[in-house]
Amino acid sequence: MTWPGGQFASGRLAPGGPLRDLVLDAHADAVGGARLPERGVPYGSDLRLYTGVGVPTLHFGPGDVRLAHGPREQVRVSEIVAATRVLVLAALRAVGVR
C-alpha cells in the first residue's frame, strides 16, 4: 500500500479565453458594483482533473474558504443566492441569451 499524499495542481484558463470575463462580468451585473479582482489561491481542488482533460477552469462560489471543511463550516444564504444568480446569468450569456 502506498499513500502519495495530496494531489495538487493548478486550474488553467487559456489567455484570452471567454470564461474569466464571462463570470467576472456576470458577477458585476448580478450583484452590482465593480468586477471582482482576479487572484490565485493556495489550496487544492478538483480543478486539476478538468484541466488535465483540457476543460478551462476557475474557482467561483460563495462562502469564506477559511471556514471550509472545519467544525464551523458555513455559508450565508444570501451568498448562495448571489452566487446562483451569477452562475445562471453566466450560463445564459454563454448560450447566447442576453
Query: What are the percentages of helix, strand and coil residues in the chain, rounded to 5?
Result: 40, 0, 60
Q: What is the tens place of the pLDDT at every residue in 38-49? A: 887 777 788 888
Residue 6 reports pLDDT greater than 90: no
Q: What is the tens place of the pLDDT at every residue in 62-84? A: 998 888 888 999 999 999 999 99
To which residue does cell 453566466 refer?
90
| Structural domain harbouring 71 | 18-94
Task: Give me the CATH number covering residue 61.
Answer: 1.10.150
Cα(82)–Cα(62) distance, rounded to whole angstroms? Answer: 8
> Could you report how far apart the first and last alpha carbons of the chain are, in Å?
53
Total structural domains within the chain: 1
Residue 42 lies in a domain: yes
Residue 66: DSSP 8-state: G
**How confident is residue 98, by pLDDT bands cut at 50, 70 and 90?**
confident
Give start and end residues of each alpha helix (H) in 1-98: 18-31, 47-52, 77-94
